[in-house]
Amino acid sequence: MVVGAFVGEKPDFTPVAHFGILSHDIAMISLNKAHYINQGINKNKALSVNIVDESRLEKAAVAGSVSGRVKDKSSLFEYGLGETNAPIINDAKLSMECVV
């Protein structure tokens, strides 16, 4: 899965392996504190969780291979904005917006 959030004026995307739905309104995502995307999640209190299929795995791998501090990842995926203003990957098989 790929998590998306705005960091400053640009969306950032990072793959995440540890995710779980705990109840109807609680999800848990495990991200190390050092991840660049955490700045945007903490500031905006919103993120998207996007489940991508095999056709997007190469882009997901690129998103995970370099930090958003080093490379602008905003053009990796076509995205729209959800109700929380989190970037939602347009062609993801399933997307959820989460509020922190």
The 10s digit of each residue's pLDDT in 77-100 is 999 998 999 999 999 999 999 999
**Domain housing 77:** 2-99
In the predicted structure, residue 21 carries a pLDDT above the cut 90: no
CATH of the domain at 19: 2.30.110.10
Q: How many domains are contained in the chain?
A: 1
The C-alpha atoms of residue 84 and residue 62 are separated, in whole angstroms, by 25
- Average pLDDT of the segment spanning 18-47: 92
pLDDT at residue number 94: 93
CA-to-CA separations, 40 to 1, 37, 47, 60, in angstroms, rounded: 18, 5, 8, 19
